[in-house]
Each structure stands twice: as structure tokens, then as C-alpha cells.
Structure 1
Amino acid sequence: MKTLTLLIFLSIGFSALAQSDYQLNQAIDFFQSNRMIQGEIKNMLTESEIEGSPYLNDEFITGSVFTTSKIQYNDIPLRYNVYNDEMQFKSPEGNVSAIAAPEIIEKVVFGDYTIEYIPYIIAKKMRRGFFKVLLKGNATLYARSNIEYRQPVPAGAYKDPEPARFLEKPDTYFIRIGKEAALEIENKKDLEAVFPDHKKEIASFIKKNKVNHRKEDKLKELVEYYNSL
């Protein structure tokens, strides 16, 4: 895949329509090409040499991009590279690029996915990344897709070589209150701590409904309950 940076203007042919309070008045700024492992692998391996896939969706799905300045772009072929945490698009000429300034993205909608670019805290550090929206409200439940890259293993005395591969890992769950940074839900204590204004009600609901921090359906029930308070 060629590395390139593009300035995308309305004239390239993407169909962009204003809906609701979104309107057309500028382009989406700069885009850059997909990078393997954030640019650290440079032509050493191609994706065809790696087993598995780094993508949430291998094929491009036509969708819409919404920016923080309330601009909506429709009919854009989109694909999410989980490993690189990059939202990719394909131009009418067939070039594949990644959004170079994801901080201007409010959300991306394609297929069954709604993905937002948000701040989150992990290991006590503030970061930003793309998350799948599972339930939207004052409290929003997100899922973070995870893919691990495993280095190739050379042949040993009694062992065949193993190719490089991408391994899909279970989603991790985050909850965001309002515009605060999203917090990872790793255990029961995290569930109670993320809702400081209704600790007693939340603790009671968790116990009564046997909410498991690893179960998406139970987390949805909890977030729906909190949003109803």
C-alpha cells in the first residue's frame, strides 16, 4: 500500500449532504495512508504475509463521516483498522488513506457500526481513540476492539516456523459520563466508581441484577438504568 497524504476537497466526488444541524462548508482536512504498527514496520511485511486481519471489517462499507464542526460527508467507503486505530477510506480513484486528523471526527457511521473518536483514560493516562457505540445517553457504553500482532517464529530443531499473525482479542468496555473521558470497566469496583452521583442505587442494581463487567447485555441494562435516574 502506497504511503501518501491527500487534501480532500468537495470536488473529488464524495457525495456530501446536509442533514439535521449538519451543513456543508469545508473539506475534511488532511488524510494519510495506512501504516503498519504506527509506521514502525516499513516494507518489512505486507498484510498478505500476515495471517488474520487487522480490520474490524475487511471490506469497505459505504457510510457517513460527521465532523465536530457539524459537517456530514456521505457515500464514503469506510474501513476501521483496529490494530492501528485508524479509520480508513477509499477515494474514487481507489487510493486507501486514513483520516490524518481524527480529532475533528465526531462519529463515523457505516453498516451496523457507529464509531466515535473520544478521550479515554487507561493506566492513569489520557488518550484518544476510536470506540464502537453500544448505548448512547448521558452515560454512554462503548466497546474497544482489540487485535494483537504476533511476531513470526523461526523454525526450531523440532518445530515448524510460525508466520506473523493478527489475533482478535475480546472487546474491552468503557463508560463515559457526559463529556468526561471514558473509563475502562475492568471489575465490579469500576462499575460502582464510574457513577459517583448514584453510588447506592448502582450498587443495589448491580447486586440485584448480577451485573457482570464482561457481559455486554448486562452492562447495557446498567447504563440504561443509570440514564433513567
Structure 2
Amino acid sequence: MKKYILLFLTLLLSSAGLYAQSIYDIRNAIDFFESNKMQKGEYRRTLTANDIKGSPFLNDEFITGTIYTYQKVQFNDIPLRYNIYNDELEFETPDEQILAMATPEIVEKAVIGEHSFSYIPYQISKKMKRGFFILLEEGKVSLYARPVVLYQEPKEAAPYKDPEPAKFIQRPNEYYMRNGKDAATKVETKKDLVNFFPDHKEEIESFIKKNKVKPGKEDKLVLLAKYYNSL
């Protein structure tokens, strides 16, 4: 009898897994291009930067990825890359046009290689914005990385100095935490970390001290988020 019960539970769980996968209406890249055109009209071209040193991209090359929308549609096999400077998700069409996604607000998740991106609200300088973030840990509290690229204007020649071309400069990632569906907030100090977890303040303070958690240390921040989500 136990054998039959175990077999039934196994089949039940397998069926549940298949049902969970079928929640999304799976479509291909061509449908993605067409559906976005219908929703938002014409795409706008991205910034061309052939005369600028450095790179505005997380990865220069396009990587075949998947987009999951809030409308529960899954688009597979789309050549994607993330433009950090423009904060845009770019894609390459079958006729090799490089375009920026015109409807980022539909993106629940975009998986590009080893990175999973979310388009979420965040607060900075007391202003509310929306943008793409790399998801590092998801749960009651979610942790995100925000890549940063700065643009430096070209510099003219000066005494004892050669001219310098314009260039993109990659800076260390910034890190944000998000409580549920609230806007994500930037983690800048240890005080920010402690204040983010008021319901377990003592445990968090002890964990931060014991594990030497610092705002700029990604691996330590992931440990902290995982710890809190386990409480």
C-alpha cells in the first residue's frame, strides 16, 4: 500500500510541475518582435558608440535569452544584451537590426546567460524610478545588483597632455534591497542594512558583525539576504 501511495504522490508532483510550466504561454522570438510593435509602435534605435572607448554593455555580444512578461507570456530564443549606460534591454532582429526594447514595463524577468534581470521600481534621491536590476536573491527580501557605467567627455590637448577620446568607464555595482513589492532602496551603509530588517534587528546586527557584511561585498550581502529569508 505504501508503494502505491508513494507512486501516486510522485505522479501528483510531476503533474503539478507540468502545470506550473504551462502557466506561461510560450512563444518564439518573432512573436516577441511583433507583439511589442503592436503594443508600443515603432522601436527607437539605441545609441551608437563606435567612436567612444570602453563599452556601455554588460556583455558586448548578444546572448540567446528568454523574456517572461507580467501578462504570463514567455518569449524564447531572443538575442539579448543589457546596455548599462542607457538602462535598456537590446535585441537583434532577424535582419540584424539592433534595437532597444520599447516596453520594458512588461518584463517580469529576462534571463540572459547566467543573469536574471527584473524591471522594478526603485527609490534614489527621494525620487521614484523604474529600471533593470540583476536579481541575486529572491524572497521576503530580494537583493539586486545595479551595474554602473559612466560617460567621460573627450578631453582636448593641454600642455604636457595628449588629447583623450570620449570613453565609457565601468564602476563597481551598486546594491539594492526590496521588501516584497515595495520600491527597492540602495544599500550604502551598515546602518542601511540594519534598518532594513526592523523585525529581526538584533539577529541581523549579530549576523552582520559575525560575517563581516559590508554594503559593497556582493557575496556577503547574498548571505545576509538568504539568512533573513530563512528566519
Q: TM-score, normalised by structure 1?
A: 0.84
Rounded to whole Å, the distance in 1 between the matches of 2:109 and 2:92 is 17
**Residue 48 of structure 1: aligned partner:** 50
8 Å CA contact retained: 1:33, 1:96? no
Query: How do residues 29-48 of structure 1 correspond to structure 2 at under 5 angstroms?
Result: 29-30=39-40, 32-36=43-47, 46-48=48-50
Deviation at 1:49, TM superposition (A): 0.7
**Residue 172 of structure 2: aligned partner:** 170
Which structure's residues are more often helix, by fraction? 2
Rounded to whole Å, the distance in 2 between the matches of 1:91 and 1:171 is 29
Deviation at 1:198, TM superposition (A): 1.6
Deviation at 1:213, TM superposition (A): 1.3
Rounded to whole Å, the distance in 2 between the matches of 1:209 and 1:159 is 46
Structure 2 residue ranges without an equivalent (≥5)? 1-19
- Between 89-98 and 77-86, the greater mean CA deviation after superposition: 89-98
**Residue 15 of structure 2: aligned partner:** none
Amino acid at match of 1:213: P
Deviation at 1:206, TM superposition (A): 1.1
Deviation at 1:32, TM superposition (A): 2.2
8 Å CA contact retained: 1:34, 1:88? no
8 Å CA contact retained: 1:34, 1:86? no
Residue-by-residue CA offset, 1:96-127 (whole Å, 9 max, x unaligned): 11111211111100111101100111111111
Query: How do residues 7-46 of structure 1 correspond to structure 2 at under 5 angstroms?
Result: 19-23=21-25, 27-28=35-36, 29-30=39-40, 32-36=43-47, 46=48
Query: Identity over the aligned pairs, expressed in percent?
Result: 54
**Residue 6 of structure 2: aligned partner:** none
Rounded to whole Å, the distance in 1 between the matches of 2:170 and 2:81 is 16
Query: How do residues 176-215 of structure 1 correspond to structure 2 at under 5 angstroms?
Result: 176-215=178-217
Aligned residues: 203
Query: How do residues 88-107 of structure 1 correspond to structure 2 at under 5 angstroms?
Result: 88-107=90-109
Amino acid at match of 1:182: A
Report the 3-state secondary structure (helix = DSSP H, G, I; strand = E; otherwise coil) of the residue aligned with 1:92.
coil
Deviation at 1:24, TM superposition (A): 5.0
Structure 1 residue ranges without an equivalent (≥5)? 1-17, 37-45
- Between 160-169 and 88-97, the greater mean CA deviation after superposition: 88-97
**Residue 144 of structure 1: aligned partner:** 146
Deviation at 1:89, TM superposition (A): 0.6
From the CA coordinates, give the structure whose radius of gyration is larger.
2
Report the 3-state secondary structure (helix = DSSP H, G, I; strand = E; otherwise coil) of the residue aligned with 2:50.
helix
Deviation at 1:173, TM superposition (A): 0.5
